[in-house]
Structure 1
């Protein structure tokens, strides 16, 4: 996991509970939460775009 270049979400602020994203040369998108850095979700760029659009639009509902 350390070979990835992780980018912290711009919505994170100063805390340590952040979403991190890394783009791998094969165009796979890796997502992790900073509190559990060894748990990584991997997806393709189009699906990640759909996730970001859904988050921005507020169409996802929480528990």
Structure 2
């Protein structure tokens, strides 16, 4: 597997409470920063875009 370039979320809390995201081929990879050797979630770009869109829409309803 090729090395992914991880991008830190711009919505990180203090300390280690953060997620990192990397695009690799046709997959979006997501991991928790406090456990970089732990599980990596894999999803499609379409599913990731739908999640981000839903989160952004939900933020406007607070």
Q: TM-score under structure 2 normalisation?
A: 0.77
**Corresponding position of 1:4:** 4
Runs (4+) of structure 1 exceeding 3 A deviation are: none
Name whichever structure is richer in strand by fraction.
1
Deviations 1:20-49 (A, max 9, x none): 00000x221000111122211000100000
Q: What is the alpha-carbon distance in structure 2 between the residues aligned to residue 23 and residue 15 of structure 1?
A: 24
C-alpha RMSD of matched pairs (Å): 2.3
The count of residues paired between Structure 1 and Structure 2 equals 58
- Gaps spanning 5+ residues in structure 1: where? none
Output aligned runs, 1:11-26, within 5 Å: 11-12=11-12, 14-24=14-24, 26=25
